[in-house]
């Protein structure tokens, strides 16, 4: 199934989950939760670039300092037909990259020193194309919408757990039974988290495919992913927050494979297999 369609379906599932809770819990609770979630997540949306770049010690570089990097990025953004982003270098032996910014006109691409040193020209260009695809596909916005809906669901789950402690929840007759509270307070937020992670994985597949099609070269993306996987195993990132791991092209903190449903990224093998199936 097309990853864009998958993302739409996942967002629809999140919304359906939220509306289902609304009919059970009451829409006043949804409105309160929505206000909090919108404030938190859209603050993050507008300031995500600044927060992420500082968190991972990224340093802005000029064209004079990194002429080859600028040249590659210019070639990619020309193909993608988006504005030139600001470029940053992260001084670390962990080979990786991420893109951030609320839209193509306010975007930044950060690459690590190890990535620039490790990759061949076509591989580095493929990684850049992956990150530019995130920018063009507005994945920061999609992630923010998903986080906002999941945040409301989590808020309602917390309220349900407190209600269980203090004697049940209001609403329709029978809403205070333990089974209902269990579903609302524990299982539903877990479902929302799993859907949110599925959206993150779907966007990684989409960025891989978009990069391969943009450059007409899936093989370069395959080689880059193989090197990234090995490089992260040898040199996991030792600073910054794991909360931002989903931004990177590959999880920077560990080379271990986590349980698939609890991972922000698809397995590298799955990503490579999908790229091999592309007909370009």
Give the distance, in angstroms, between the CA of residue 269 and the centroid of all CA atoms in the same chain: 19
Any idea which residues carry the catalytic annotation? 131
Nearest to 215 by CA among 150, 275, 149: 275
Give the distance, in angstroms, between the CA of residue 94 and the centroid of all CA atoms in the same chain: 19
Estimate the crossing angle of helix 218-234 against helix 121-136, to 10 degrees.
Answer: 100
Q: Dihedral of the CA atoms 66, 72, 78, 80 (nearest 10)?
A: -120
> Which 8-state DSSP code applies to residue 187?
I
Q: Which residues contact 184 (CB under 8 A, 6 or more apart)?
A: 21, 24, 25, 156, 157, 160, 169
């Amino acid at each position: 199934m097309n990853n864009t369609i998958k993302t739409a379906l996942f967002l629809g599932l999140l919304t359906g989950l939220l509306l289902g809770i609304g009919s059970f819990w009451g829409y006043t609770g949804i409105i309160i939760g929505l206000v909090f979630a919108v404030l938190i997540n859209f603050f993050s949306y507008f300031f995500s670039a600044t927060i992420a770049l500082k968190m991972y010690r990224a340093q802005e570089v000029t064209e004079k300092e990194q002429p080859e990097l600028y040249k590659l990025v210019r070639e990619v953004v020309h193909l993608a037909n988006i504005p030139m982003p600001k470029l940053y270098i992260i001084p670390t032996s962990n080979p990786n990259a991420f893109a951030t910014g609320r839209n193509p006109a306010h975007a930044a691409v950060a690459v690590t020193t190890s990535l620039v040193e490790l990759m061949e020209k076509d591989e580095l260009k493929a990684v850049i194309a992956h990150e530019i695809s995130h920018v063009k596909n507005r994945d920061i916005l999609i992630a923010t919408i998903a986080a906002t809906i999941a945040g409301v669901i989590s808020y309602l789950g917390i309220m349900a757990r407190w209600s269980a402690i203090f004697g049940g929840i209001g609403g329709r007759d029978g809403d205070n039974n333990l089974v209902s509270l269990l579903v609302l307070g524990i299982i539903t937020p877990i479902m929302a988290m799993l859907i949110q992670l599925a959206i993150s994985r779907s966007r990684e597949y989409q960025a891989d495919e978009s990069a391969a099609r943009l450059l007409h070269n899936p093989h370069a993306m395959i080689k880059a992913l193989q090197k990234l996987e090995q490089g992260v195993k040898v040199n996991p990132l030792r600073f910054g927050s794991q909360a931002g791991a989903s931004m990177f092209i590959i999880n920077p903190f560990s080379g271990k494979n986590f349980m698939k449903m609890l991972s922000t990224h698809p397995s590298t093998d799955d990503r490579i297999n999908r790229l091999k199936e592309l007909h370009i």
